Amino acid sequence: MTVLVVTGTGTEIGKTVTTAAVAAVAVRAGRSVAVLKPAQTGVAPGDPGDVDDVVRLAGDRVTPVELGRYPEPLAPGTAAARAGLPPVRPAQIAEAAQKLAASHDLVLVEGAGGLLVHFDAEGSTLADAARLLDAPVLVVARAGLGTLNSVQLTAEALRSRGLRHSGVVIGSWPREPDLAERCNVADLPRVAGVGLAGAIPAGAGTLTPQEFRAGAARWLGPALGGVWDAETFTAAEGPPAFG
């Protein structure tokens, strides 16, 4: 796997923190990594974007690339139209990712918001880019009540487009999970039709970069280069006995 598309069930789910963890583990393993954020919204020129967060957490051996940035915190297509700026098209995303893949062992493509967010006025999405790249898609999800529906909708959208679902990562796993969060550990793989690929502890994004890099392998399963084990996690953190 050279290109991995990282989407989420929405915005502010933990895509960037997850992307940083995957990058950190790969860097530690001696792999060269690039992170591509096709469209960064809600930032002024010169402001740090998601790729800068990834570099801060995973290290400056990660190559950061943005294709477009727009000042208003909106879906990229809307933000581009309102700013009178050209949108980022799926073909550009695919071309940029392929170019990076020629010189890196791993290219992480972080979407904006969820899978079907529009990048342009025609309604192109990250899924279109993933299809052009024939790349697997990792889905970052919330832990709590409401996440099952969003995760199943995302899985169905991927499958109906012929895309490969490479697993679900819980973007922020609380220190003291409530009943819904614990039950979701067992239900998420069922509704996704694919296993859990990791769980990032709440607060990971605010660790020092050294702590983050040292911890990342324990948050991600083997498919993402880590040592996190879904079965062990489910036994420890999953559904409690009834009542």
Ligand X SMILES: Nc1ncnc2c1ncn2[C@@H]1O[C@H](COP(=O)(O)OP(=O)(O)OP(=O)(O)O)[C@@H](O)[C@H]1O
- Interacting span for ligand X (CB under 6 A) from 13-21, 147-155, 178-186, 230-238: 13-21
# chain residues binding ligand X, by CB under 6 A: 20
Choose the catalytic residue: 4, 20, 37, 74: 37
Q: Which is nearer to ligand X, 30 or 37 (CB)?
A: 37
Whether residue 37 lies in the annotated active site: yes
Q: Which is nearer to Mg ion, 69 or 191 (CB)?
A: 69
Tokens of 60: 């400056």
State in angstroms the smallest separation of the CB of 74 from Mg ion.
Answer: 14
Question: Pick from 3, 5, 17, 23: which binds ligand X (CB under 6 A)?
Answer: 17
Question: Pick from 87, 205, 221, 225: which binds ligand X (CB under 6 A)?
Answer: 205
Are 54 and 179 a contacting pair, CB within 8 Å?
no
Say whether residue 76 binds ligand X (CB under 6 A).
no
Report the distance separating Cα 144 and Cα 179, nearest Å. 9
Report the distance separating Cα 101 and Cα 108, nearest Å. 10
Amino acid at 150: S
Say whether residue 16 binds Mg ion (CB under 5 A).
yes
Say whether residue 15 binds Mg ion (CB under 5 A).
yes
| Residue whose beta carbon is closest to Mg ion | 16
DSSP string, 103-152: T-SEEEEEEEEETT--SSTT---HHHHHHHHT--EEEEE-SSTTHHHHHH
> Residue 178: how many CB atoms within 10 A of its CB?
12
Say whether residue 50 binds Mg ion (CB under 5 A).
yes
| DSSP helix/strand/coil, 72 | coil
Are 121 and 81 a contacting pair, CB within 8 Å?
yes
> Residue 211: how many CB atoms within 10 A of its CB?
12
Question: Pick from 4, 5, 8, 154: which binds ligand X (CB under 6 A)?
Answer: 8
**What string marks each residue from 28 to 57 as x (binds ligand X by CB under 6 A) or -?**
----------------------x-------
Give the HSE-up count for residue 118: Cα atoms under 13 Å, Cβ half-sphere: 10
Q: Which is nearer to ligand X, 27 or 200 (CB)?
A: 200
Residues in contact with Mg ion by the rule CB under 5 A = 15-16, 50
Residues marked active site are found at 37
Residues in contact with ligand X by the rule CB under 6 A = 8, 11-17, 50, 112-113, 171-172, 200-206
